[in-house]
Structures are given as C-alpha cells and as structure tokens.
Amino acid sequence: MEKTYIELKVPSDVYYLESVRAFIGKLSETLKFPKKRIADIQLALDEICSNAVYHGSKCVTCGIQLRISVDPHALEIVVRDKGGKGPRDWLTPDKLAEIQAQRSPTGERGHGLYLIECLADVHTLQANAVGGTDVTAIFYRDGQTERG
C-alpha cells in the first residue's frame, strides 16, 4: 500500500467538527485501529480542530484544512489554520512548555494541547507560511497499542 492522501476544507465553525470527527472515526475503523484507539484519534482531532477554530481563525469563512495521509505504518493528520486575531508568540518550544507547566487539572481551560500530547504517538506544532499554525498528529498502525 502506497501513501494515500485525503484533503478536507472545513469552515471555521465548531458546528462542522462533529462531521469531521465522524469521518476520522470511520476511516480509523476501516484502517482496523482498535476501538479505544479510534476514540483517542477522534478526541485528538476534535481538540486540534477546536483550537484551530477558536484560536487560529479570524472568521468562519477562513476555514481550516485537514491533510490526512495513510500508509501501512501510520495515520498522519495535519490541521492547518490561517491564524487568529491574537499574536502567535506562544508558538515556540519554551512558551509551549510554559503553557503546559501552567496547566492545572482543576482548571477549566488549557487541557487541549495536553490531551493531544497524551493521545498521539507524535505531535508537533509549526508556524506556517500563511500566518497560522500547522498541527501534526501521527498514530502508528504497527502494534496499535492503547495509550494512557
């Protein structure tokens, strides 16, 4: 099986994220991920896309792009946004580490990035050329262990 790609563009509105979650759930099922791992993939993508809508979009029509690739070893998801209204100065390894260190289990916010880190086998954030962020999450198919 060669590497295959699927691309989706979704409006920057959480209303549409249910459909995205359903899609990735069905794809993961087709790829024979275990049931609990499918829930992990769906939750990680929900968190990534919610962040892209809330923090990485200036308007609904800006949209977010998903590039999903599949090969025999992994399912890789890249979510690209075009940047929100706020500054992007948090997108450095030091600042990200600081944000994570400030996370409190008893807090109401700030758990999204932490969850993605827990659930994905690989997770990266990178500034992109259009002024936004590319978030990558990789889930290995080999072994397909359940995490956490």
Given the rule CB under 8 A, which residues bind another protein?
A: 14-15, 17-18, 21, 36, 39, 42-43, 46-47, 50, 53-54, 105-109, 111-112, 114-115, 118-119, 148
Complex with another protein: residue 39 or 125, whichever CB lies closer? 39
Q: How far is the CB of 46 from another protein (least distance, A)?
A: 5
Complex with another protein: residue 100 or 127, whichever CB lies closer? 100
Classified as helix, coil or strand, 55 is helix
Query: What whole-number distance in Å separates Cα of residue 8 and Cα of residue 20?
Result: 9
Query: What whole-number distance in Å separates Cα of residue 16 and Cα of residue 13?
Result: 6
Q: How far is the CB of 112 from another protein (least distance, A)?
A: 5
Contact by Cβ (8 Å): 84, 56: yes
Complex with another protein: residue 15 or 98, whichever CB lies closer? 15
Q: How far is the CB of 13 from another protein (least distance, A)?
A: 8
Classified as helix, coil or strand, 93 is helix
Residue 120, burial from CB neighbour count under 10 angstroms (0-12, 13-18, 19+): buried
Complex with another protein: residue 72 or 110, whichever CB lies closer? 110
Q: How far is the CB of 4 from another protein (least distance, A)?
A: 26
Classified as helix, coil or strand, 10 is strand
